Amino acid sequence: MGTTAAEQLLALTPERRPEIPETLNGTLRLDAYENGWTQHWYLTVTDQHVEVSRSADDADLVVRAHRTVFDRMAAGQLRAAAAMLRNDLTVEGDMRLFVVFRRIFPGKAGARHPREAARQVAAEPNSGRDVRR
């Protein structure tokens, strides 16, 4: 399956993350359950920085799912919003922090932001041609 959610969270560094809104601060707890036990991950978001630790402390937003759901998100096979709509993932608390959660895990392999794709097409020779496939 590739990267697990635990590996993805452990790899997060406390560097600045410009994709997180500047005014968004708070705490998230990710509860990954499996076989009668729960693994807790605690994320603190401050000034576009995310710090990760292991704790079951109260948080502004709590996201609960089976470990395989988190692993599928970490592998880019499942989007957080889709998992929530299918009730594979439950969310309780300050939904503004869901933005941070969604941006922690990558999208599908090879996926690009639409602006990035448009810039690439514009930079190519003959960029006026029809590039639909």
pLDDT in tens, 46-81: 998 889 999 999 999 999 999 999 999 988 899 999
**CA–CA distance, 113 with 33 (Å, rounded to integer):** 32
**CA–CA distance, 58 with 75 (Å, rounded to integer):** 27
The SS3 assignment for 92 reads: strand
The SS3 assignment for 7 reads: helix
Please state the domain extents for the chain: 5-123
Report in angstroms the alpha-carbon separations of 10 from 3, 18, 86: 11, 20, 27
Model pLDDT for residues 19-34, shown as the tens digit of each residue = 888 899 999 999 999 9
Whether 76 and 63 have beta carbons less than 8 Å apart is answered as no
Model pLDDT for residues 65-124, shown as the tens digit of each residue = 999 999 999 888 999 999 999 999 999 999 999 988 888 776 665 555 566 767 777 887
Q: Which two tokens stand for residue 117?
A: 């794709």
DSSP character at residue 72 = H
Provide the CATH topology of domain 5-123. Nonspecific Lipid-transfer Protein; Chain A (3.30.1050)
